[in-house]
Chain A
Amino acid sequence: MGKTGLRLAGALLACAALSAPAQAQTEYRAAVLRVDTPGPLPISRLDLPPEDLGFAGGALGTADNATTGSFMKQTFVTEDVLATPETAEAEMQRLLDGGTRFIVVLADEAMTVRLADLAGDRALLFNAGASGDVLRNADCRANLLHTAPSDAMLADALAQFLIWKRWDEWFLIEGIHPEDTALAGAYRRAATKFGAKIVEERVFEDTGGARRTDSGHVQVQAQMPVFTQRAAEHDVVVAADHAGVFAAWLPFHTWEPRPVAGSGGLMPVSWHPAHEAWGAMQWQTRFEKQNNRPARPEDFQVWMALRSLGEAATRTTSDDFDTLVGFITGDSFDLAAFKGQKLTYRDWDGQLRQPVLLSMGPVTVSVSPQDGFLHQVSQLDTLGTDRAETGCTRMTARED
């Protein structure tokens, strides 16, 4: 009896062995690691982060890869990991120990660097969350690519549009948080780069407290005009409010009737649910059908990261880590991502080149780079830190 059982198992094993080569599926494993830091609520309830922020974009990227994979005998598995600042490194360690080598990270700048250093040459990380320029310069890492546009790219994208409009006198209002200061720096740099003049600068204090109170707009309506009065003559108000403390309240509350841009009003973003050009409608429809909500920039940035892996898998048909990474960062890579031209990674800082949408609520107002801003290599390199200006010295470490 026992013998028969064994034999049967043997026969089953033989069957399994026979069928395995016929399938010969290659599995590509990735993870999306999101590190949530507790903080105040956004000013607008429309900006409340959905629970599946970023993961939803990852799910679509994985599904898109899997559809292509079905023709290539390739399967794609993505693990979603939600962490706190306290658990993030342990989760990264767990992923590395489990052999996951492509990891998309949604975290702040400091945490992103810590996770990249923890991963070392065991994994390729995609930064899909942090926009800080320091990550593309002094704190860059050879194992860290960026699908999130940098503050410099976003600021340059807005600056080109404002210059095209001939609104070249700016009133810059910045918040007090370090990331606001960094963003204001990006706007100052953009102004110098494209010939705008910052005629007035003010700092908006964050007095803390609840962001939202019933009829809070009554006070705002009185306070914001006072805060913005007697500024030097300007064409536009530019807000550097990464922390989301005040910029949403600026439009229509400025002392002078001037448009608002930056962190409020007309905003430079990698993605917006209203974007429909270049086939984007298809992406939006697919995303909304799968996730029952409009997409956020973080979702799109995670999607681009996982699609980069998918492109490498399709084009190389390899499961060798170095081959895949070499393809993604090499000359033959290009990503079609509904922005009207191919996207590629800059070899000097790992940043994904991409057009930036200028959005305000229901429609895409414009897309930068604007016509007339030329570049000797790629017009996309008019946005952000160009090769000659980079402060990144670590990108070549991988090849050494």
Chain B
Amino acid sequence: MTRFTAALACAALTASPALADKIFVSNEKGNTITVLDGTSFEVIHTFNGGQRPRGITASPDGKILYVCASDDDLVRVFDTETYEELPSLPSGPDPELFVLHPSGNPLYIANEDDNIVTVVDVETRQVLAEVPVGVEPEGMGVHPDGSIVVNTSETTNMAHMIDTTTYEIVANVLVDSRPRFAQYDSDGSHLFVTAEIGGTVSVIDAASYEVTHKITFEVPGVVPEALQPVGLRITADDSKIFVALGPANRVAVVNGETYEVEDYLLVGQRVWQLAFSPDGKYLYTTNGNSNDISIIDVASNEVLKSVQVGQQPWGVVATKSN
């Protein structure tokens, strides 16, 4: 009798992943998308992501997955439940990173080869605008109210603030060398831009467009040139900023008020992009050279485990169960 109930409970447990949160990882070299269960962290599926999948994001309702297939020169679109491929979006050449408007439409795409940001309507699949920016556009961020989209250009070393209604650049903010990623805090008062070669994170006042602070990094035993900030995420309460430090194999935990670095978490090799779980409890990191992702407990700053995914994982996004 007891055994029977236990078996039932087990069945219920194994069935539950279908309803659970999911983690999607783009594997740049493997040309695949790895799907993990957001509760058990087990790999539950792998599917073809097109040629050189890098940037990856999901619609606000978590139903649609968008992937920058860089060498296909388009954005591939997938159903997050069935993994079925939906009609692709035009992207302009060599899309690397993108960001969705908070409403879920349009999509703003950085085109590294053409010095433009392409704006695409995800419903009509039409290109709405092409905005000329600096050399090698890369990082894309959007203000929480949707009014400004930010692009960072890697060789021009600027954050370009683009008005989302006029598609005009309203400000250019000089940051340190090779800016990679741009992220606003939750109330949109500050913008954080990582500089991979410069080794810093610039904190930009979102109203005055002034750089008000620069976050720097220092790890004993790690050469300074290996401390290369790439991906960055901020907790919903703005209390912690997590910064992926690339070949330093560490994620820095930065105090959201003082901007002091409070901890360095050892993860996999060449840690690249970061994403929170939908409930904000976990942070996922893609570790490009060790072919795995690390799972970090946000409250305790503890690295819980690492899970093997595909070849050279690049980007990561987590979706809520639908």
Interface residues of A (CB under 8 A from B): 64, 67-68, 71-72, 279, 282, 285-286, 289, 307, 314-315, 334-336, 340-342, 378-380
25 contacts between A and B (CB under 8 A): A67-B115, A68-B155, A68-B156, A68-B157, A279-B112, A279-B154, A279-B178, A282-B94, A282-B112, A282-B113, A282-B154, A285-B94, A286-B113, A307-B155, A314-B174, A315-B174, A334-B177, A336-B157, A341-B197, A342-B198, A342-B225, A378-B225, A379-B223, A379-B225, A380-B225
Q: How far is the CB of A317 from chain B (nearest CB, A)?
A: 9
Question: Given A285-B113, A314-B174, A379-B223, A336 and B197 touching (CB < 8 A)?
Answer: yes
B200, chain A: closest CB distance, angstroms: 11
B321: chain A residues within 8 A (beta carbon): none
- Chain B residue numbers with a CB within 8 Å of A378 are 223, 225
CB closest residue in chain A, given B180 = A279
Inter-subunit contact A336/B225 (CB<8 Å): no
Closest beta carbon of chain B to A316's beta carbon, Å? 11
Q: Which of B123-179 contact A (CB under 8 A)?
A: 134-136, 153-158, 160, 169, 172, 174, 177-178
Would you call B90 an interface residue if the criterion is a C-beta within 8 Å of the partner chain's C-beta atoms? no
How many residue pairs at the A-B interface have CB separations less than 8 Å? 66
Q: Are B135 and A340 in contact, CB atoms less than 8 angstroms apart?
A: no
A254–B110 Cα gap in the complex (Å)?
50
Contacts A279-B154, A282-B113 given; indicate if A334 touches B197 (C-beta within 8 A). Answer: yes
Q: Mark B211-237, 1 if CB is under 8 A from A, else 0.
A: 000000000000101101000000000
* Docked CA distance A379–B247 (Å): 14
> When A67-B134, A68-B134, A314-B174 are in contact, do A336 and B223 touch as well, CB less than 8 Å?
no
On chain A, the residues within 8 Å of B228 by CB distance are 341
Interface of A is mostly: helix
**What residues of chain B have their CB less than 8 Å away from a CB belonging to chain A?**
94, 112-113, 115, 134-136, 153-158, 160, 169, 172, 174, 177-178, 196-199, 223, 225-226, 228, 247
- A132 to B153, alpha carbons, bound, how many Å? 36
Most buried by A among B156, B157, B160, B178: B156
Considering only CB atoms, which chain B residue lies closest to A307 in the complex? B155
Q: Please report whether the interface of chain B is mostly helix, strand, loop or mixed according to DSSP.
A: loop
Chain A minimum-CB-distance residue to B156: A68
B155 neighbours in A (Cβ, 8 Å) = 64, 68, 307, 336
Given contacts A68-B156, A68-B157, A335-B177, contact A282 B225 (CB under 8 A): no
- B197, A68: Cβ atoms under 8 Å? no
Q: A64 to B134: give the CA distance in the assembly, Å.
A: 8
Q: Which residue of the partner chain A has the closest CB to B155?
A: A64
The 9 closest A-B pairs by CB, nearest first: A336-B197, A68-B156, A341-B225, A71-B172, A336-B178, A336-B177, A342-B197, A67-B135, A64-B135
Smallest CB separation, B87 vs chain A (Å): 27
Contact (Cβ within 8 A) B158 A336: no
Rounded to whole angstroms, the CA-CA distance of A279 and B135 in the bound complex is 12
Could you tell me the distance between the alpha carbons of A289 and B226 in the complex, rounded to whole angstroms?
A: 32
A-chain residues with CB within 8 Å of residue B169 when the two chains form the complex: 71
User: Complex: how many Å from CA A342 to CA B223?
Assistant: 12
Closest Cβ of chain B: how far from A275's Cβ, in Å?
A: 16
Give Cα distance in the complex from A62 to B178, angstroms.
18
Nearest residue (CB) in B for A60 is B135
5 additional A-B pairs beyond A67-B135, A342-B199, beta carbons within 8 Å, are A67-B134, A68-B135, A286-B113, A341-B228, A379-B225
A380 to B225: give the CA distance in the assembly, Å.
Answer: 10
Chain A nearest CB from B252 CB (Å) reads 18
CB distance from B22 to the nearest CB of A (A): 30
Q: Chain A's nearest CB lies how many Å from the CB of B290?
A: 15
Q: Which residue of B lies closest to A374 (CB)?
A: B223
A67 to B198, CA, bound (A): 20
A334 to B157, CA, bound (A): 12
What chain A residues lie within 8 Å of B223 (beta carbons)?
Answer: 378-379
Task: Please indicate which of the listed interface residues A315, A340, A378 has the most CB atoms of chain B within 10 Å of its own CB.
Answer: A340
* Residue of B whose beta carbon sits closest to that of A339: B197
CA distance A67 to B172 in the complex (A): 12
Are B136 and A282 interface neighbours, CB within 8 A? yes
Which residues from chain A contact B225 at a C-beta distance below 8 Å? 341-342, 378-380
